[in-house]
Amino acid sequence: PWGQMSFWGATVITNLFSAIPYIGQTLVEWAWGGFSVDNPTLTRFFALHFLLPFLIAGLTLVHLTFLHETGSNNPLGVPSDCDKIPFHPYYSIK
């Protein structure tokens, strides 16, 4: 399943972690699943690319929930209740 571009892309990108002092090389070996880019690396990258959209969607829902409960920041104290449009259903449908 590895093409040359995929193999060397994974090698270069994961080796960027080695620039982190003290823990860089350990992070690289953990991301690789061994001492070189191989099948465990492919499995880990697949799992990351599968789970990341769900994580982003969950964080977005949490963000919107807190924003809906507390409202936006109003540092000047200007009353903003007039002409207020509710978020749901007008914007959540979009």
Name the token pair of 53: 């959209």
Cα 69 to its chain centre, rounded Å, is: 24
State how many domains the chain has. 1
User: Does any domain span residue 40?
Assistant: yes
> Tens of pLDDT along the chain (94 residues)?
678 998 999 999 999 999 999 999 999 999 999 999 999 999 999 999 999 999 999 999 999 888 877 666 766 666 666 666 777 777 777 6
* Cα–Cα distance for residue pair 27/16, rounded to 1 Å: 10
User: Does any domain span residue 63?
Assistant: yes
Enclosing domain of residue 29: 4-70
What pLDDT score does 83 carry? 67
What pLDDT score does 67 carry? 80
What pLDDT score does 21 carry? 94
Q: Are 14 and 37 in contact (CB under 8 A)?
A: yes
User: Does any domain span residue 77?
Assistant: no
Q: Is 22 left (phi over 0), alpha (psi -120 to 50) or beta?
A: left
- Look up residue 14 and give its amino acid: T
What pLDDT score does 12 carry? 94
